[in-house]
Chains A and B, each alone.
Chain A
Amino acid sequence: MTDQTNPLVEMKNISISFGGIHAVENASIDLYPGEVVALLGHNGAGKSTLIKILSGAYRRDEGDIMINGEAADIRTPRDAKKFGIETIYQTLAVADNVDAAANLYLGRELQTKWGTLDDVAMEANTRKVMGRLNPNFKRFKEPVKALSGGQRQSVAIARAILFDARILIMDEPTAALGPQETAQVGDLIKQLKQDGIGIFLISHDIHDVFDLADRVFVMKNGKVVGQARTQDVTKDEVLGMIILGKVPPGATPGPGAMRV
């Protein structure tokens, strides 16, 4: 997969620090169309911070972001969306008190020619998208608060794909879900992958993502330990990368690799 076309996303030598602490230091990751890349590491390894730079929630101190080989200036979530980058946050980031349609279109509401909200059209499109993602979803008029964890997750995912995302970032996508719902998210990821969407999966739990991912990047203490194709390494070897920073033979070491 890695030897074809330009990378969809390339983050090169990214650094960011908060009050003197390097949250991310000289990290480089990339993603190709139709590829699922898992970003692994302990809590506080810097993976969420790195990805939030891509989604515009944080501004990098140093480094470049290339989208389709061209430099992209991403400063706000709005900028990121312009490049087709959609993020599903760990906290889901849905507004609990409004309904599914309002959440799907939050920040990008459809308007009538009078400048008022076109709720009817938004709800119609929402029904269409949700029908594709989750045909059992029927509670369109209720605040999202009333929904189950899986239903809320499907609202968050629907929001991301509604606007033709090319790059999807999923931060701990299955953390809040039961086994059945987790399997459904897995199916959905495969479906999106076939559509040529590039997906970043972020997790601290290797079991959540190893089988879904084509490649893994491992981060530790704000640095990239290394990357590997999942077919070239075992789960235990990746676990060694996460815990010790030890890079196995099948992987490419990064700046954070353990010195031997």
Chain B
Amino acid sequence: MADTTHSTTSGGASQTGNPVTRFFRATEIDTRMLGMIGALLIIWIGFHILTGGLFLTPRNLWNLSVQTASVAVMATGMVLVIVTRNIDLSVGSILGFTGMAMGVLQARLLPEWLGFDHPAIWIIALACGLVIGGLIGALHGLIIAFLGVPSFIVTLGGLLVWRGATWFVTSGQTVAPMDVNFRLMGGGTEGSIGATWSWVVGIIACLAIAIAIINARHQRKRFHFPRRPIWAEYFLVGLGCAVVLGAVMIANDYYWPVNIARRYAEANNIAWPEGGLLISQGIAVPVLMAIAVGIVMTFIATRLRFGRYVFAIGGNPEAAELAGIKTRWVTVKIFALMGILCAIAAAISTARLNAATNAQGELDELYTIAAAVIGGTSLAGGIGSIAGAMLGALVMQSLQSGMVLLGIDTPFQRIVVGAVLVVAVWLDTVYRARAK
């Protein structure tokens, strides 16, 4: 029962339009995502000029990647929460509480019967943190789904409850230092994988990109679906590999600070060379963790039933319910997942700070929501992408560290970040209205 006038064939359409349109259609690159990358580049280049060449240095970009990791991890979960027309205001407090729990476990409780720096401490602490985070999230989800309390209220309560609980664990004392192995998750000189392994990771990533594209093409061929032109496939593989290897190169171009390198040289009886000892940092562990989380979450959101249900519920909750989806349990799972991601973010930020404090993660809920929304997640539900949210986190962090480099005061930084959030969402609204 179609009106044929509305139907356009995707196959035939690729022959028309100007070269730019044709290029985007052939490569199937999301123009919205491209817009975000463009905005990010403008921010980067702008700060680079304003700071007199301080921004686009391996050192700053490396730091930027590490600073983004924690919020980026949480933003991936926030996408699913917002897609189902919910909100989670408690992520910063869950981060604080799970971070404190992991801190107390590894700095006080576990060493008592395992001894300090026992190799199992970090994994036990992390596992406990993940379980606690998951349970807190599941509790929120149960209240939202089965008691019918709006997520805004439940998580607003959670924001206060878990922040208060964080204080109670140690009566407000800061717990430090963290376990030696646990600290690797925070980045820094030890928490980076060095030049060789960075190249290995980069090459594996390139192979994965190539295999994914070949596989997708193969699948389309099998069912006689329209395929991208072959040059577009090569272009995408080339672009993906260039970005990955470029990032590895930048990470490897940032060397150990002189003091640490000198100490390392002394400890290992290496003669101090003339121009200084150049040891590459490589990719930081928290960045790898964030990328891994991003890949896993993208997989969950796009390749699993659960993800399909999340988006269907966001698009039309009634239709999802009538299709026989157990929408309440999906909600519980989303919030539990959010809690687990908060615990991962907590591990990164406590390890980075080398301490668990009761103020950890304050305001992170707002940065996380902002990252997801800047990344294209619609508060009306049903629309959002994991990669977009992570990019959104990178945009927010770029603004902040750029302003720090410029020496702008903290209050003014917040004013700018707030204004950018509003402008970004306004631009997105305009874009979507025109795209219709």
The chain A residues found within 8 Å of chain B, CB to CB, are: 55, 57, 76-78, 81, 87, 89, 91-98, 102, 106-109, 111, 115-117, 120-121, 123-124, 133-134, 136-139, 141, 147-148, 150-151, 153-154, 177-178, 180-181, 184-185, 188
Contacts and interface: CB of A to CB of B under 8 A. Distances in A.
A164 to B, nearest CB: 16
A181 B1 contact: yes
Contacts of A93: 316, 318-319, 322-323
Contact of A109 (B220, B305, B318, B322): B305
Contact of A98 (B3, B4, B305, B312): B312
A118 to B, nearest CB: 10
Contact of A97 (B6, B225, B302, B315): B315
Given A93-B323, A138-B9, 19 more contacts: A87-B322, A91-B319, A93-B316, A94-B316, A94-B319, A97-B314, A98-B312, A108-B324, A115-B304, A116-B304, A117-B305, A120-B220, A121-B223, A136-B2, A136-B3, A148-B2, A154-B1, A177-B1, A184-B1
Please classify the interface of chain A as helix (H, G, I), strand (E, B), loop, or mixed, using the class held by over half of its residues: loop
Contacts of B7: 136-139, 151
Interface of B: 1-4, 6-10, 219-220, 222-223, 225, 299, 302-305, 308, 311-316, 318-325, 382-383
15 contacts: A55-B322, A57-B322, A87-B322, A93-B316, A93-B318, A95-B313, A98-B312, A106-B323, A116-B299, A120-B219, A123-B225, A134-B2, A138-B8, A177-B1, A188-B1
A66 to B, nearest CB: 22
B428 to A, nearest CB: 16
Contacts of A134: 1-2
The 9 closest A-B pairs by CB, nearest first: A184-B1, A97-B315, A95-B315, A97-B382, A107-B323, A93-B319, A78-B324, A136-B2, A95-B312
Given A96-B315, A123-B223, A109 B308 contact: yes
A108 B322 CA distance: 12
B307 to A, nearest CB: 8
A139 B3 CA distance: 12
B3 A106 contact: no
Nearest to B307: A117
Q: B-side binding surface: helix, strand, loop or mixed?
A: helix
Contacts of A133: 1
Contacts, number: 120
Contacts of B219: 120
Contacts of B223: 120-121, 123-124
Contacts of B382: 95-97
A47 to B, nearest CB: 17
Nearest to B316: A95
A106 B321 contact: no
Contact of B311 (A98, A108, A150): A98
B163 to A, nearest CB: 35
A91 B319 CA distance: 9
Given A116-B304, A120-B223, A95 B322 contact: no
B305 A111 contact: yes
Contacts of B321: 77
Contacts of A91: 318-319
Nearest to A115: B304
Contacts of A87: 322
Nearest to B28: A141
Nearest to B225: A123
Contacts of A89: 322
Contacts of A78: 324
Q: Which of A89, A108, A136 has the most CB of B within 10 A?
A: A136
A216 B9 CA distance: 42
Contacts of B1: 133-134, 150-151, 153-154, 177, 181, 184-185, 188
Contacts of B314: 97
Contacts of B8: 138-139
A147 B325 CA distance: 24
Contact of A150 (B2, B9, B312, B316): B2
B395 to A, nearest CB: 24
